[in-house]
Structure 1
């Protein structure tokens, strides 16, 4: 039996500025780094076979903070990168709305119709997510694997896990920075155990017991 512990990178400078990142990058904020450390503490007792991360700077920074002093294999996989958004990358939401209002609306409200050539569609992301999960399952038939990725990739993975279609992609919950989802995989069947949980952040808010 294989368990995937899936998390999104911590808050970044561009997240704060409401800029689309895609394949471009920005560094984690102090808060993003802290939340990744707190997730690392939460997962300290979990024995991981490996950590598999998107190669983006923000996900690698998050992975390293979660791993901390542990000796764990940290592997990069291009298929875990965020959706490629072409000319949108680095621009704010308001700038994108002004330049491509229909496409921006489709991105959030009609994923089936979203296109942004030469970037990716949600269908493209779904295809690469399916292949990377199959490969992880072949490599690690049992144990725990930590997967560090991005909002669209994780939402796509959870959608696949639920046997839902792309039109439901943005159904709640939203995947916040360092939120934790856990998926059990057995004989090719995926079961969602936990989705988008951020209880480790309570320590920052002074709510920890």
Structure 2
């Protein structure tokens, strides 16, 4: 008998910045690193003979929970990547809610009928993963294998394997959740599904979110637009500093209401600058500030920036706390990486 542990990556930027990342190579958050430590403790006494992961940073870092402590090599395999989302990659969820509400709902709750031109459809990504799984299982017959992958592709593969045609057969999984399968005589058996009992409530990602609970529940996901001339009073209220031509200034919208703003500047070489981020008082304390940071980091990274510089001291305590959480302090700091 072969034992397979299918493990979702730890909490990553997209989960907190509320951006749909697909195969965008995002990084693990500080809370995700704590989840990895809890996962390592869970597997401390469990034998594992081989460790595989998708070739994206968030799965490879999560896999350290097992392969480092057991002295094993990590095998990277692109077949275990997340769904290829095409034009949706690194789009804020608030933008998708605004422009494609029916398609976004289908993505989470009706996978067989979700379709975006240029993206992988359900059967493509589910069968891509299952082909990789079959290869790995036959290569390690009679052993124990851990495979680190991503929420949607894992869900799709498990639906297709055990509940074909039944999208509701597999719930959405917590970050670092573990599914155990047994393989024998050419067939798979589901032993446990999406178990995350190694995480305390404080470490949970899904516990802080609502999108997976059904259509009656809403998250506060922002979208962003360019600044218009009539936004001058709003920018003044948000304390926006003087900007220059070429700076990227974005107004954060919560549905149809301005909620805040973020301003960045591309510097020479591999640096970018965070000029300002702020929320209106009525929108503070709701966990939205991390989304503003995502709107700063992700576009700068896409332009080749590896470092994020603060060009002026941060005085707001909440903003200071948020930036410090991600290792960003006065001076020059590295935009989060897994190196």
TM (norm. structure 2) is 0.57
Q: Is the 8 A contact 1:55 1:81 kept in 2?
A: yes
Q: Is the 8 A contact 1:155 1:169 kept in 2?
A: no
Report SS of the residue matched to 1:199: coil
Report SS of the residue matched to 1:137: helix
Partner Cα separation in structure 2 for residue 64 and residue 24 of structure 1: 20
Report SS of the residue matched to 2:179: strand
- The residue that corresponds to 2:164 in the other structure is 165
Deviations 1:16-43 (A, max 9, x none): 1221010102211111111112111111
Residue 57 of structure 1 and its aligned partner are, at CA, apart by 0.7
Deviations 1:119-142 (A, max 9, x none): 100110122122112101210111
**Which moved further from structure 2: 39-48 or 73-82?**
39-48
- The residue that corresponds to 2:75 in the other structure is 75
**Which moved further from structure 2: 33-42 or 97-106?**
97-106
- The residue that corresponds to 2:179 in the other structure is 181
Partner Cα separation in structure 1 for residue 164 and residue 152 of structure 2: 14
Partner Cα separation in structure 2 for residue 69 and residue 11 of structure 1: 20
Residue 161 of structure 1 and its aligned partner are, at CA, apart by 3.5
- The residue that corresponds to 1:37 in the other structure is 37
Between the two proteins, the alignment pairs up a number of residues equal to 203
> Unaligned stretches of 5+ in structure 1?
none
Deviations 1:134-163 (A, max 9, x none): 10121011110000000112112322342x
Residue 110 of structure 1 and its aligned partner are, at CA, apart by 2.5
Structure richer in strand, relative to its length: 2
Report SS of the residue matched to 1:16: helix
Partner Cα separation in structure 2 for residue 146 and residue 57 of structure 1: 17
Structure richer in helix, relative to its length: 1
> In the alignment, is residue 136 of structure 1 matched against residue 136 of structure 2?
yes
> Unaligned stretches of 5+ in structure 2?
204-339
Matches within 5 A, 1:86-101: 86-101=86-101
Partner Cα separation in structure 1 for residue 116 and residue 201 of structure 2: 40
Matches within 5 A, 1:8-23: 8-23=8-23
**Which moved further from structure 2: 69-78 or 92-101?**
92-101
Partner Cα separation in structure 1 for residue 169 and residue 18 of structure 2: 20
Distance 1:118 1:96, change over 3 A: same
Partner Cα separation in structure 2 for residue 203 and residue 43 of structure 1: 19
Residue 170 of structure 1 and its aligned partner are, at CA, apart by 4.6
Report SS of the residue matched to 1:47: coil
Deviations 1:65-95 (A, max 9, x none): 3333331121011110000111111112220
**Larger CA Rg, structure 1 vs 2:** 2
Distance 1:121 1:95, change over 3 A: same
User: Superposition RMSD on alpha carbons, in Å?
Assistant: 1.8
TM (norm. structure 1) is 0.90
> In the alignment, is residue 192 of structure 1 matched against residue 181 of structure 2?
no
Partner Cα separation in structure 1 for residue 67 and residue 33 of structure 2: 12
Distance 1:130 1:55, change over 3 A: same
